[in-house]
């Protein structure tokens, strides 16, 4: 499979010459773009919301290939379940059990293997254990994989560590590992490198031996050496995020932050430090275990790698079924303050020194904190929120605090810099939102701005479709309304962003993937139309859209980050089954200086269609050059059921 970066490059340079058709057969209207009074769109307008849902991180963006690497997913007791680990050899040759014998205090469970056979009686290839990862490991020829595990033994070690096909019949890479009994009397860390001599997208890791005796294993990791910048992120998925040019990263949830119960909520202090010492936790909202290799530090690193502002969603003592009393919320507030010091503190501070020790002495640029998630209606929310707000403003007055309460319903009765707006609805509901923010009051310059941190067209659960082009087109219209009203809307992100096709818990998601492939649905490609919007200038447009119902447009001026040229971009959603013609003029400039350069169109003849694993490019944007003619008006031809962006220069 070609790399995602190659795919994006080919898509981005596709240039097809098209001659505009006659406007006489199409409904038409005139639009006038005024460049004299531009208004800046917030520099953080378009971003990403990342939640650990659908194995977005564990088994997704985080490139660790071993699932349940510390044998803790079955609970901190013994015996326990070790799924997805499996045995190699029958019960007469090997006995496998978990014990509370690990060398790691936070991860007490370890695996014990009693090998009952010897070289003369063991089956060919030996006995042992295997791990298939997250629905198969993608092994690529020529790549190197770093294998780390902790081991002790009652005798000398003679074993084989390998990457093999799912049935174990084909060896992709292997290494014989031997050691004296004295070396393995106590827990010992072993590291080896495996270079793949063949590619296979459904591989497994295995540890085998024919040496009779007892072996203990713990904290087994297989990590590809070619992660993004060496930071542990899967390259193809990272490229899809980079393609959006996100200006912020909201993390790590969502409901994942809350937990169904607080005992299973995300606890940042348990996710930093050496990966072997992280206890991991069961995400009870979405129903799976995370080893927390993707922890608080990695999220901050992800934001930095994306050149995006981190937006840290903190637990404020509320889960689905638990609420900490306002009088007892102090320790949770301190946890939040410690997290800020970890991110922003100098290496001389308590938590800043830990960050520096872990390899990042430079502070992160943390300026946004969201207090809780979707909890405004809970009894203790406002009281708890105010404790967090006051503590932040006292210690870090520059941090913008985000409330869960939706000010589109009624003005907030508490201080906030931004407020969360979440909306999942059907197509008609999404189209109905296009006028929501134009109704917001603008007479108070200190009023909190909207953070549209979760939005999507969703579908009945029983359908579980990838999405639809019609839904994406409705989302495009909504995004245009947010861009138009960016004086009261500061930030926007789609949700959720990732979905492992083997564990679909939400419908739909912007990017679907499995072990070796990934594709964006139409909703993903809609977002690419706004990647130049952050920090651009919104222009006034005289557009009598009552003459063309279901047509939405905006105009911005911007500097293209690739060719460094200044452009006016007119974006148009045509939610009609007819071609629409727009006669464009730019107010206050010589008509002969206006040049149409190119257009990019996202369209499909089937509103119910979308991209799939078998047809990943059915609905993708296509760019084309536009022959430009001299004259007062420039004609923009907008195809039926389409989202179009027209790039214009002034010469």
Kindly report, residue by residue over 353-412, the tens digit of the pLDDT.
Answer: 999 999 999 999 999 999 999 999 999 999 999 999 999 999 999 999 999 999 999 999
**CA separation for the pair 469, 397 (Å, rounded):** 43
Average pLDDT over every residue of 287-294: 97
Q: How many other CB atoms are there within 10 angstroms of residue 398's CB atom?
A: 9
Range of weakest confidence among 205-214, 460-469, 611-620: 460-469
Domain residue ranges in the chain = 4-40+536-650, 48-61+227-528, 86-224
Average pLDDT over every residue of 187-207: 98
Q: Are strands 418-425 and 400-403 parallel, antiparallel or unpaired?
A: parallel
Label residue 465 by pLDDT band (50, 70, 90). Answer: confident
* CATH of span 86-224: 2.60.120.260
Please give the pLDDT value at position 630: 64
Kindly report, residue by residue over 52-81, the tens digit of the pLDDT.
Answer: 999 999 999 999 999 999 999 999 999 999
Q: How many other CB atoms are there within 10 angstroms of residue 566's CB atom?
A: 11
Kindly report, residue by residue over 160-186, the tens digit of the pLDDT.
Answer: 999 999 999 999 999 999 999 999 999
Kindly report, residue by residue over 577-636, the tens digit of the pLDDT.
Answer: 999 999 999 998 888 889 999 999 999 999 999 999 999 999 999 999 988 766 667 899
Its sign, for the CA torsion 323, 324, 326, 330, is: negative
Kindly report, residue by residue over 27-47, the tens digit of the pLDDT.
Answer: 889 999 999 999 999 999 999
Question: In terms of CATH architecture, what is 48-61+227-528?
Answer: Alpha-Beta Barrel (3.20)
Please give the pLDDT value at position 23: 36
Q: How many other CB atoms are there within 10 angstroms of residue 350's CB atom?
A: 10
User: For residues 162 and 19, which has the higher predicted lDDT (pLDDT)?
Assistant: 162
Please give the pLDDT value at position 19: 29
Nearest to residue 105, comparing CAs of 331, 222, 270? 270
Tokens matching residue 54: 């659908």
* % of the chain exceeding 90 in pLDDT: 89
User: What's the farthest any 2 CA atoms get from each other in the chain?
Assistant: 91
Q: The pTM is what?
A: 0.94
Nearest to residue 185, comparing CAs of 151, 143, 212? 151
Label residue 156 by pLDDT band (50, 70, 90). Answer: very high
**CA separation for the pair 70, 220 (Å, rounded):** 6
Taking only Cα atoms into account, the Rg of the chain, rounded to an integer number of angstroms, comes to 28
- Please state, in angstroms and as integers, the Cα–Cα distance from residue 151 to each residue in 106, 111, 220, 643, following that order: 17, 10, 9, 57
The DSSP result for 498-550, as a single string, is EEETTS--SS--SEEE-SS-EEE-HHHHHHHTTTTTTT-EEEEEE--GGGSTT
580 Rama class: left (phi>0) / alpha (psi -120 to 50) / beta: beta
Average pLDDT over every residue of 186-195: 98
Kindly report, residue by residue over 241-252, the tens digit of the pLDDT.
Answer: 999 999 999 999
Average pLDDT over every residue of 552-560: 93
- Give 481: exposed, middle or buried? Use CB within 10 Å, 0-12, 13-18, 19+: buried
Please give the pLDDT value at position 183: 96
Average pLDDT over every residue of 448-454: 98
**CA separation for the pair 360, 167 (Å, rounded):** 42
Kindly report, residue by residue over 117-143, the tens digit of the pLDDT.
Answer: 999 999 999 999 999 999 999 999 999
Average pLDDT, the chain: 93
Q: Is 534's pLDDT higher than 70?
A: yes
Superfamily of the domain at 4-40+536-650: Golgi alpha-mannosidase II (2.60.40.1180)
């Amino acid at each position: 499979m070609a790399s995602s970066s190659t795919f994006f490059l080919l898509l981005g340079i596709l240039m097809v010459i098209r001659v505009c058709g006659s406007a006489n057969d199409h409904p038409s209207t005139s639009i006038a773009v005024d460049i004299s009074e531009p208004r800046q769109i917030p520099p953080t307008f378009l971003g990403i919301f990342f939640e650990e849902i659908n194995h977005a991180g564990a088994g997704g963006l985080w490139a660790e290939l071993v699932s349940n690497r510390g044998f803790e997913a079955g609970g901190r007791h013994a015996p326990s379940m070790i799924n997805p680990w499996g045995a190699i050899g029958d019960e007469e040759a090997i006995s496998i059990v978990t014990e509370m014998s690990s060398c790691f205090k936070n991860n007490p469970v370890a695996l014990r293997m009693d090998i009952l056979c010897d070289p003369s009686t063991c089956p060919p290839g030996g006995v042992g254990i295997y791990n298939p990862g997250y629905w198969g490991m993608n092994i690529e020829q020529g790549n190197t994989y770093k294998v780390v595990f902790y081991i002790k033994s009652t005798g000398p070690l003679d074993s084989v560590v390998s990457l093999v096909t799912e049935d174990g019949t084909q060896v992709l890479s292997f290494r014989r590992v031997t050691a004296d009994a004295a070396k393995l009397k106590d827990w010992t860390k072993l590291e080896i490198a495996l270079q793949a001599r063949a590619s296979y997208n459904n591989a497994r890791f295995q540890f085998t031996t024919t040496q009779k005796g007892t072996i203990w294993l713990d904290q087994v990791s297989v990590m590809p050496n070619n992660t993004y910048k060496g930071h542990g992120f899967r390259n193809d998925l990272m490229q899809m995020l980079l393609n959006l040019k996100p200006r912020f990263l909201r993390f790590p949830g969502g409901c994942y932050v809350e937990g169904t119960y607080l005992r299973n909520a995300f606890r940042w202090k348990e996710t930093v430090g050496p990966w072997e010492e992280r206890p991991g936790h069961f995400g009870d909202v979405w129903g799976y275990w995370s080893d927390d290799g993707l922890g608080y530090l990695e999220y901050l690193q992800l934001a930095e790698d994306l050149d995006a502002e981190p937006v840290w969603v903190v637990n404020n003592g509320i889960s689905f079924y638990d609420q900490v009393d306002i009088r007892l919320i102090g320790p949770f507030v301190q946890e939040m303050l410690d997290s800020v010091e970890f991110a922003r503190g100098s290496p001389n501070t308590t938590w800043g020194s830990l960050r520096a020790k872990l390899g990042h002495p430079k502070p992160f640029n943390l300026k946004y904190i969201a207090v809780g998630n979707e909890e405004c209606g809970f009894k203790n929310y406002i009281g708890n929120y105010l404790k967090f707000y006051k503590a932040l403003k006292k210690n870090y007055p520059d941090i913008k605090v985000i409330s869960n309460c939706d000010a589109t319903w009624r003005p907030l009765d508490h201080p906030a810099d931004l407020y969360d707006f979440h909306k999942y609805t059907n197509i008609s509901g999404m189209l109905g939102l296009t006028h929501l923010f134009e109704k917001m009051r603008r007479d108070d310059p200190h009023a909190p701005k909207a953070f549209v941190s979760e939005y999507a067209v969703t579908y009945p659960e029983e359908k579980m479709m990838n999405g639809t082009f019609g839904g994406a087109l409705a989302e495009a219209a909504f995004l245009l309304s947010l861009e138009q009203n960016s004086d009261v809307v500061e930030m926007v992100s789609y949700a959720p962003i990732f979905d492992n096709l083997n564990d679909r818990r939400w419908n739909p998601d912007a990017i679907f993937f499995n072990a070796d492939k990934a594709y964006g649905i139409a909703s993903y490609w809609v977002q690419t139309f706004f990647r130049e919007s952050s920090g651009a200038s919104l222009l006034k447009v005289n557009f009598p859209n009552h003459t063309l119902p279901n047509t939405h447009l905006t105009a911005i001026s911007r500097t293209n980050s690739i060719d460094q040229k200044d452009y006016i971009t007119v974006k148009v959603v045509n939610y009609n089954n007819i071609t629409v013609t727009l006669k464009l003029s730019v107010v206050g400039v010589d008509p002969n200086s206006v040049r149409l350069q190119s257009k990019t169109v996202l369209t499909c003849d089937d509103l119910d269609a979308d991209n799939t694993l078998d047809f990943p490019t059915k609905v993708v944007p296509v760019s084309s050059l536009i022959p430009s003619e001299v004259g007062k008006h420039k004609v923009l031809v907008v195809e039926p059921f389409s989202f179009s962006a027209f790039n214009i220069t002034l010469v």
